[in-house]
A and B are shown apart, each in its own frame.
Chain A
């Protein structure tokens, strides 16, 4: 597609429920990243996929967080047993080689 697409744009969920966030990167971009911005914080790295290499999961805050990227394209970030501290804007980005990232418009997650 023309840009990075994320869905849903907003999600309100009850504490303890699981959520799935979707990212559809720009076609042909080999790298895909997930970041999040909690209230008053900077952009925090979560996970990075590059081609067929093993993902860099070093930013995932707990084992309740997981992500996959199917067929080198669409990625899903899953948060199990959501907690209130998971409330944030979750941003996905894709890039080609060492150029700037193209970000999606984000998913605003609110855990109540």
Chain B
């Protein structure tokens, strides 16, 4: 059973704060790590697909890093805005599971004015 853990479970920040979340996954047989943003009443939206150790990806104010040797990824949001409020999911693929993603339970972010 693949265990993908995310922390914190929820987070409440003020507009303008920078924040980060953690995703932990098994370090053996790594293939890829995905990050998604899931806003209430909408579909999960792909943010990043990461495959290489040391990879860093950026999309606007959101960035992510990957450490496959120790099995973790960080998602950073710089200068949080209310529209960043969502659940952020990470998901892991190992070499034995083809394209099947195993999701963490997510970090629920709420940004207030």
Contacts and interface: CB of A to CB of B under 8 A. Distances in A.
B58 to A, nearest CB: 15
A105 B42 contact: yes
Given A41-B105, A42-B103, A42-B104, A101 B98 contact: no
B57 to A, nearest CB: 11
Interface of B: 32, 34, 36, 42-49, 51, 89, 91, 98-106
Contacts of A50: 98-99
A44 B104 CA distance: 9
A45 B45 CA distance: 17
Contacts, number: 59
Interface range on chain A: under 10, 10 to 19, 20 to 34, or 35 or more? 20 to 34
A101 B46 contact: yes
Query: Which are the 3 A-B pairs with shortest beta-carbon distances?
Result: A100-B46, A42-B105, A43-B103
A71 B36 CA distance: 29
Task: Please classify the interface of chain A as helix (H, G, I), strand (E, B), loop, or mixed, using the class held by over half of its residues.
Answer: strand
A79 interface: no
A65 interface: no
A95 interface: yes
Nearest to B105: A42
6 contacts: A33-B101, A43-B89, A48-B99, A100-B36, A100-B46, A103-B44
A59 to B, nearest CB: 8
A64 B97 CA distance: 24
Contact of B49 (A93, A99, A106): A99
A27 interface: no
Contacts of B89: 42-43
Interface in A79-110: 91, 93, 95, 98-106
Contacts of A106: 43
B33 to A, nearest CB: 11
A105 B34 CA distance: 19
A45 B101 CA distance: 8
